[in-house]
Amino acid sequence: MDNRIIIFDTTLRDGEQALPASLSMKEKCQIALALERLGVDVIEAGFPVSSPGDFASVQEIARVVKDSTVCGLSRALEKDIDACGEALRVAEQFRIHTFIATSDIHVSNKLKKSQDDIVDMAVAAIKHARRFTDDVEFSCEDAGRTHIDYLCRMVENAIKAGATTVNIPDTVGYTTPTEFGGIIGQLFNRVPNIDKATISVHCHNDLGLAVGNSLAAIENGARQVECTINGIGERAGNCSLEEIAMILNTRKAKFGLETKIDTQEISRTSKLVSQLCNMPVQANKAIVGANAFSHSSGIHQDGVLKAQNTYEIMTPESVGINKNNLNLTSRSGRHVIKHRLAELGYQSQDYDLESIYTLFLKLADKKGQVYDYDLEALLFFDQQKQEY
Ligand code: KIV
Ligand code: ZN
């Protein structure tokens, strides 16, 4: 089986639709260009039929992005697909992504149609999209809660109709990794023509399992992952791009899979998306949180100063951060104080470590975090004390 994982980014579609205020066209283009630099294979730029503004943004992104495939979303309706085709035709390479819900809950309560009608609508939509491009993706919305027999039927028909990528979304983040991986495994066992398309997954994070479910799907044969920067998206968000990319990168020996992501672009892309979307990243967020490469306890700080891999499974440099951060707190030991003073230009013969460390602990107990300027003030205070 192919060892390449296609990274399909939907920050500008699933991510953007969940923001309280929409992004301007200029902001969307800035993000699209950052995603292209990051090495994303497919950028889902928006939902062209949804508004004139979205149409114009998708069109502009299609014009400026050269190295990634630009994609637009459409329901399984001709007018949506036509809007996608029209917005995207200026692109170097583009994809039309069409979807319809397949779970009983959605088919009977939302669409109020029969299962046969849904298959017919999906087939017609895919065939219509193929008039514009050979690169057509079809999604079975709420696949995670779709009966497996019907899901197999949908996937088989979608591929027959010409879908080159078939996406299996866990739209409401309901499944667990064993279940979701099992769904993908069953598709590979049961759908006769499955090797004619790329199987993709799109996991939401309602139970905090979006990344785990995407990984389980990859282990069962999925070769495209849909994700967003910082995991932004509807409700609790989507599978986070930086997490899935760094799992595959850090555990290459285990999975043997490659992405085209330039991991050193991760940090600045995350910051750009956070700022433009006005969505702060939680401090303890994996890979891109402010604390992801910070060490606080004395034992950990001493460990990383002796050998970085004692408490770091990947380097900060590998995701584009200059260096790790050793927080100076009352849990810090003498080793880190000496190290920080050396970084600030003080040699060990310039000060009395025991005396500075005693002053440091007193201050840290009162203040919590001790900053470089505090440390320099303590040095000065200690020298004054010795002189008088
Ligand atoms: O979550 C979902 O099912 C979606 C589809 C449109 C792919 O976003
Ligand atoms: Zn989604």
* 3-14: pLDDT as tens digits: 999 999 999 999
Half-sphere exposure of 147 (CA within 13 A, CB side): 7
Residue 1 has pLDDT above 90, yes or no: no
- For 263: left if phi > 0, alpha if psi spans -120 to 50, otherwise beta; the answer is alpha
Contacts of 73 (CB under 8 A, 6+ apart): 13, 44, 46, 47, 48, 84, 97, 98, 99
- For 138: left if phi > 0, alpha if psi spans -120 to 50, otherwise beta; the answer is beta
Work out the angle at residue 22's Cα, subtended by the Cα atoms of residues 21 and 23, and round it to the nearest 5 degrees. Answer: 120
Residue 302 has pLDDT above 80, yes or no: yes
Q: What pLDDT score was predicted for residue 372?
A: 97
Q: What confidence tier does 126 reach under pLDDT thresholds 50, 70, 90? A: very high
Q: 106: annotated binding-site residue?
A: no
Kindly identify the ligand whose nearest atom is closest to the C-alpha of 233. 2
- The closest-lying atom of ligand 1 relative to the alpha carbon of residue 143 is 3
State phi, psi for 232 to the nearest 5 degrees.
Answer: -70, 155
Residue 387 has pLDDT above 80, yes or no: no
Alpha helices in the chain (DSSP H): 25-38, 52-64, 78-88, 104-106, 115-129, 148-161, 177-190, 210-219, 241-250, 252-255, 266-277, 298-306, 334-343, 353-367, 372-387
CB 163 within 8 A of CB 128: no
Q: What confidence tier does 385 reach under pLDDT thresholds 50, 70, 90? A: confident
* Ligand 1 pocket, mutate which of 204, 205, 214, 225 (most atoms under 8 A from CB): 204
Kindly identify the ligand whose nearest atom is closest to the C-alpha of 138. 1
Q: What percentage of the chain carries pLDDT values higher than 90?
A: 98
Q: What pLDDT score was predicted for residue 388?
A: 63
Residue 133 has pLDDT above 90, yes or no: yes
From residue 32, alpha-carbon distances to 61, 232, 271 in Å are 7, 15, 14
Q: What pLDDT score was predicted for residue 281?
A: 98
Q: 238: annotated binding-site residue?
A: yes
Here the tokens at position 208 are 């905090």
pTM for the structure as a whole: 0.96
Residue 386 has pLDDT above 80, yes or no: no
CB 208 within 8 A of CB 176: no
Q: How close is the Cα of 372 to the center of ligand 1, in Å?
A: 47
Over residues 257-278, the mean pLDDT reads 98
DSSP letter at 263 equals G
| Mean pLDDT score of the chain | 97
* Nearest alpha-carbon partner for 367 in 332, 336, 343: 332
Query: Which tens digits make up the pLDDT trace of 140-190?
Result: 999 999 999 999 999 999 999 999 999 999 999 999 999 999 999 999 999
Over residues 221-248, the mean pLDDT reads 98
Lowest mean pLDDT among 109-113, 186-190, 372-376: 109-113
How many other C-beta atoms are found inside a 10 Å radius of the C-beta of residue 285? 18
Say which amino acid occupies 152: C
Residue 47 has pLDDT above 70, yes or no: yes
